[in-house]
Amino acid sequence: MAVDLQALYPKLIHLMLDTVFVVDSENLIVFVSDGCEALLGYRADELTGTPITHYMHPEDLARTRASIVRVMNGRPHVDFRNRYVRKDGEIVHILWAAFWSEEVGARIGVARDVTALTQAEEELRFLAHHDPLTALTNRSLFNDGLDSALQDAQRHNSTLALLFLDVDDFKGINDVHGHAVGDRVLCVIARRLERCVRENDLVARMGGDEFTVLLTDIQQHADVCAKVAQILAVMAEPLGAEFGGVKMPSCSIGVAFYPVDGEDADTLLSHADGDMYRIKRQYLAAE
């Protein structure tokens, strides 16, 4: 028995897990497959006759229009990503393959939901540059940021300060209360450091109980001294009741200034580290 393919094609299109859109030269949706309801939350009859641009994420509209022009000029776009706003207000990330059909007088696109994939990619990028425990910048990204800040300081003849912070007797917390509590204390320290800096400053966990803070565009050394005093005061605040009486450890902070204490990253880090250990020795001697 012969199969009527012409009658079968519409059913196949509606059976696809991806969504098929047909959009005219005025950006009006003239056809959309049933997959649209899973993708955007709208039924096909709700979308038909409406501008497809109405559903695009506003921040992606400009570059999406550029992709539309490309497609309408006869250049298929098979790897374009953008975001749409679902009927329920949620954001969906979409991967498109689209071409312009002269025969139909419309552009035809196939849309695939790649929200989960995009989120996984973003998480991997985040983990590559951030400390998994505290979510602070990690050593690698901090070094990149320090190099960039030094270049800016050299160009603009400005000053920056590098703080190197070490937690005093952190090993004692791990030994007495366990590493899980120690990890929670490190997270508290991370959040407190973030509270103390400006948006354009940089806080990082270098490893273990060592943290760095990069202060840019310093007007005078006294400002850095005041910042160190602020950090020490914030760090001295007691831990919450959820810590069950665990005492917040003190911190030792070393400081290095560009260009007085060094003109490159390694020299500044070494100077700040040495200054931190000098202060820590004073702390130990006073006990």
- Among all residues, which ones are annotated catalytic? 209
Q: Which residue bears the tokens 């003109």?
A: 263
Decide if 27 contacts 14 (C-beta within 8 A): no
Contact residues for 63 (Cβ-Cβ < 8 A; gap 6+): 82
Q: What is the DSSP letter of 255?
A: E
Q: Which residues of 95-131 are buried (b: 16+ CB within 10 A; e: fewer)?
A: bbebebeeeeebbbbbbbbbeeebeeeeeeeeeeebb
CA-closest candidate to residue 71, choices 44, 52, 92: 52
| CA-only gyration radius of the chain, Å | 28
Decide if 163 contacts 272 (C-beta within 8 A): yes
**3-class secondary structure, 127:** helix
**3-class secondary structure, 166:** strand
Q: Which two tokens stand for residue 168?
A: 């005093």
Decide if 29 contacts 43 (C-beta within 8 A): no
Please report, for residues 52, 57, 63, 66, the alpha-carbon distance to residue 94 in angstroms, rounded to integers and kept in the order given: 13, 11, 14, 16
* Edge-to-edge order in the sheet of strand 106-113: 29-32, 19-24, 106-113, 91-101, 77-85
